Amino acid sequence: MLIKNRTPEIAEILQNEAVRLRKQVYGNEVFLRGLIEISNYCKNGCYYCGINCANKECNRYRLTEEEILNCAIEGYKIGFRTIVLQGGEDNFFTDEVVCDIIRKIKKNCPETAITLSLGERTKESYQKLYEAGADRYLLRHETADKAHYERLHPEKMSFENRMNCLKNLKEIGFATGCGFMVGSPYQTEENLAKDLKFIEEFQPQMCGIGPFIPQKNTVFANEEKGTAELTTYLLSIIRIIKPNILLPATTALNTIEEDGRVMGILAGANVIMPNLSPKTAREKYNLYDGKAISGEESAEEVKKLEKTMEKIGYRVVYNRGDMREYRKEDENGSI
Ligand code: SAH
């Protein structure tokens, strides 16, 4: 099997093919998303996550509507044309509150796409957010294996509901993103094969993957972290499975490797999500230990990021960065 029997030679072949496909669809362009972490209050108890409700050590915060809008405007001025609102499942953010924020961002930041990453909600709720103007929704499936899902989440949460949410998001018309952690506790190669199969069948527009990193106040505090080697390997495979997918080089990858961004892009990723949250929020949005929050991880340093990308032959672009079409007939028999 492709994962179990991987070798550096196979990794290189897959990487070359992934890069060839990404260049065919997106050239050397790297899309940016400005990430705003709106709240670390969460009603869920995901065992891996540092902001889960059982963590009494977590210093909770919630940005005000005004703060969120100001971050978005700041990002807009820097040049971002996609704003991502991510947070724990915080009951404060009702449909009404989120819809209001969406409309205000749309009004103040013309031509900007809004991506939401606010967890599981009802279909009616997703519909309202979509009608208010949200364009995309990220909801990692976390694992495509039900038994594995149940080992990562408390009983209250259900694999079926997560999958159902993803289906609903797609039906409504959101550009939808799924994804999973690499090297999460109890994960087997078979689980990963299922994740890849799921991506192939579900055909998401986006897919977020990054290594699992333990957080000290969670039940998985002493588990092993995932590796950059397997993460980049899987990034290449995902690019090959769906050549036009929007695929970020994630903060988690950049946290375990100093040049994680570069490694991700060179493996076939085409999106980077710098952090636009206020400094204090960045520190408190502790999904895992040691989260990279400064340097090129922060939106203020996009100039540096531009240079880093240039050095490896890529170019940061300031547009919405929507998914493009992939046409097989464009292949000119190059393999
Ligand atoms: N509440 C939202 C956003 C979750 S945070 C939701 O449910 O979708 C975004 C992602 O961070 C999660 O989907 C998870 O895959 C990842 N994450 C959480 N804890 C992590 C950890 N310890 N290591 C690596 N990634 C983690």
Contact between 138 and 115 under an 8 Å Cβ cutoff? The reply is: yes
Helices 189-202 & 228-241 angle (0-180, nearest 10): 30
Q: Is residue 25 part of a domain?
A: no
Is the C-beta atom of 119 inside 6 A of ligand 1? yes
pLDDT(335) > 60: no
Q: What is the pLDDT of residues 189-214, one digit of tens each?
A: 999 999 999 999 999 999 999 999 99
For residues 178 and 241, give the distance between their C-alpha atoms in angstroms, rounded to a whole number: 14
- How open is the CA angle 311-317-323, to the nearest 5 degrees? 120
pLDDT(277) > 80: yes
Structural domains counted in the chain: 1
- Closest-CA residue, ligand 1 atom 6, reads 119
SS3 175: strand
For residues 190 and 13, give the distance between their C-alpha atoms in angstroms, rounded to a whole number: 22
- Closest-CA residue, ligand 1 atom 2, reads 119
Contact between 178 and 117 under an 8 Å Cβ cutoff? The reply is: no
Give DSSP secondary structure letters for 8-34.
HHHHHHHHHHHHHHHHHHHTTEEEE-E
pLDDT(45) > 60: yes
Q: Quote the ligand 1 centre to 117 CA distance (angstroms).
A: 10
Helices 95-108 & 65-78 angle (0-180, nearest 10): 30
Is the C-beta atom of 248 inside 6 A of ligand 1? no
- Closest-CA residue, ligand 1 atom 7, reads 119
For residues 276 and 282, give the distance between their C-alpha atoms in angstroms, rounded to a whole number: 9
Q: Quote the ligand 1 centre to 205 CA distance (angstroms).
A: 19
Q: What is the pTM of this model?
A: 0.97
Atom in ligand 1 nearest the alpha carbon of residue 86: 3
- Closest-CA residue, ligand 1 atom 19, reads 49
Q: Is residue 62 part of a domain?
A: yes
Q: Is residue 163 part of a domain?
A: yes
Q: Is residue 326 part of a domain?
A: no
Is the C-beta atom of 116 inside 6 A of ligand 1? no
Q: Which residues pair with 34 in a beta bridge?
A: 83
Helix, strand, coil tally for the chain in percent (to 5): 45, 15, 40
Q: Is residue 233 part of a domain?
A: no
Q: For residue 167, what is the domain's CATH number?
A: 3.20.20.70
For residues 299 and 74, give the distance between their C-alpha atoms in angstroms, rounded to a whole number: 9
For residues 34 and 314, give the distance between their C-alpha atoms in angstroms, rounded to a whole number: 19
pLDDT(333) > 80: no
Residue 191 CB partners (closer than 8 Å, separation 6+): 143, 144, 145, 148
Domain containing residue 186? 33-217+275-317
Q: What is the pLDDT of residues 130-153, one digit of tens each?
A: 999 999 999 999 999 999 999 999
Q: What is the pLDDT of residues 144-187, one digit of tens each?
A: 999 999 999 999 999 999 999 999 999 999 999 999 999 999 99
Is the C-beta atom of 80 inside 6 A of ligand 1? no
> Taking residues 114-126, what's their average pLDDT?
98
pLDDT(334) > 60: no
Which residue among 39, 47, 48 has the greatest number of ligand 1 atoms within 8 angstroms of its CB, and so is best to mutate? 48
Q: Is residue 58 part of a domain?
A: yes
As a whole number, the mean pLDDT across the chain is 96
